[in-house]
Each structure stands twice: as C-alpha cells, then as structure tokens.
Amino acid sequence: MTTTDLRQQTRILVQAAARVCEDKKGADTRILELDPIDAGLSDFFLVTSASNDRQSVAIADEIELKLKKEFGVLPNSVEGRRKGEWILLDYVDFVVHVFLAERRAFYDIERLRKSARPVTPAEFDAELKAALAEKTAAVRKKAAKAKPPALKAAPAPKLKKAAKKAPVKAAKKTAVKKTAAKKPATKKVAAKK
C-alpha cells in the first residue's frame, strides 16, 4: 500500500470515529490534522467531550467496537478507561481523546497543537470523494487496456440445428431407460411360476 492509500484509509477511520462521537452525543467534536514535521507520532487527533464519565466510556467503547467490526482495526493502546475523565485510544495513525468537559478545558489540547489544522467532516467527505473518483477512473482505465478481444459468435443456423437435435436425443434416452426398467420385472414374474 502506498502512503497516500494509508492516509486515505486513516481518514476513513477518523471519520467513522467522529460519526460515533456525534451518534453518542459527544460535544464539540473536532478533528485536528497534525503537521507531519511537528507530530512524528500520528497524523490526526480526534477530540470530543462528554458530560459525564459513563458517557465518555460509552463513546470510547462504541468507537472501539465500530472500528473493530467494520474495519478490523483495534487500538494499539487504551488509557484512562477506569476513571473516564480522559480516555485516549491510540490507533497509531490517529489518536482519539474523549474528555469530560472540565478536563478538556483544563488540558486544552487544541491550544497545545497550534500547528494542527482543524478539519471539518465536510472537508473529509470532499477529499474522500475526490480520491475515490480518481481511484475509480484509474481502475477503469486499467480495465479498458486489459480488455480481451471479443469472441466471434457462431452462425445462427448451426445453433438452431443443434438445439433441435438435443430434445430428440433426450427423448430417445428416456424411452430406452423405461423399456429397460420393465424387462427385469417380467423376468421375475416368469421365474416365480
């Protein structure tokens, strides 16, 4: 896989995780695209807030479950699940931070990553659609080049003759089978007399 393919796959995973945050009523969900020079560890941060520790655990659990179920991806590590104040799911190429609202304000991760570019889900959709269209065009172009030559069809009259002969042969075979089945039965009756 090329690096652009991996980056696109990471974007799909981050977007799926962001949808889970919104489905589970995570507040102020943001996706931060980290500067490649500045952030040697991962490409994206997904940050969301929960109103209580149960909700934060539910969001983290659902993200983990969805990404495992739909994409076969498990986090490399999970931190903070017991307390639920700040749960970190590390998927290597992206990191999910689920905070309680007051903890998020205290740590202010967005401020710490000033070089990170905020990405909206709409931007993700547009980029993914463009990448998908480009990839589809490349696959179609490749398929058109590799298309085998068309096969010549058999002349119509020969096909009609073959179709007419097939039912006649099948009828003769069944008639032979029926007469063969009757003969052994008559021999048994004669043997009994």
pLDDT in tens, 57-112: 999 999 999 999 999 999 999 999 999 899 999 998 899 999 998 998 888 877 66
**Topology (CATH) of 3-145:** Beta Polymerase; domain 2 (3.30.460)
pLDDT over threshold 60, residue 17: yes
* Full strand arrangement of the beta sheet holding 44-50: 77-79, 86-90, 94-100, 44-50, 27-33, 117-119
pLDDT in tens, 102-152: 998 888 877 666 556 667 666 666 666 666 677 778 778 888 777 665 555
Which residue ranges make up each domain of the chain? 3-145
pLDDT over threshold 90, residue 154: no
d(CA 118, CA 97) in angstroms, rounded, equals: 15
Provide the 10 A C-beta neighbour count for residue 104: 21
d(CA 141, CA 187) in angstroms, rounded, equals: 71
Strands 44-50 vs 86-90: parallel, antiparallel or unpaired: unpaired
If phi > 0 it is left, if psi is from -120 to 50 it is alpha, else beta; for residue 25 that is left
Confidence band of 49 (pLDDT split at 50, 70, 90):
very high
Per-residue pLDDT at 193:
47
d(CA 57, CA 124) in angstroms, rounded, equals: 26
Q: Calculate mean pLDDT across residues 5-33.
A: 87
Task: Look up residue 153 and give its DSSP letter.
Answer: P
Q: Which residue has the tokens 């905070």?
A: 99
**In Å, how far are 11, 55, 70, 112, 192 from 24, measured between CA atoms?**
20, 8, 17, 26, 85
